[in-house]
Amino acid sequence: MMELRTERLRLVPLTLEQLRCYVEAPEALELQLGFPVSREIVTEPLRRAIETKISLMERADPAEHRWYTYWLIIVKGREYGAGLAGFKSFPDSQGEAEIGYGMMQPIRTGDTRQRR
């Protein structure tokens, strides 16, 4: 599985089925991953965005899914899915692509207590 790592984070692209689980049955996603994920970030606008990504992924070549999906932002040492990041488009002619991301508030402000 492809994964990006920083000093404090791991970013893992979610599969089509994992995206579905995140909005329909987050407890099933947590069982599969082996750690909890933030449920509070799945607001109605994000739910609609995930549904759009699912629709695009259903029609896309699976080899290109990493450009369509959301990547789970995992806090190292806590093994907690604290947010999502996603590409807004494919890379341009210079190899650059814009991303968007969202994380639960306590993680952004440095509060490391786990909330569910």
CA distance 62 to 77: 31
Q: What is the pTM of this model?
A: 0.85
CB 56 within 8 A of CB 76: no
Give CA–CA dist 33/80, Å, rounded. 10
Strands (E), 16-104: 70-75, 80-87, 99-103
Is residue 65, in this structure, part of any structural domain at all? yes
Residue 115: what pLDDT?
45
Q: What is the mean pLDDT of the chain?
A: 89
Position 87 in a domain: yes
Domain with 96, as residue range(s), is 4-108
Residue 65's domain is classified under what CATH number? 3.40.630
pLDDT tens string 4-24: 999 999 999 999 999 999 999
Would you say residue 113 lies in a domain?
A: no
116 occurs within a structural domain: no
- Count the domains in the chain: 1
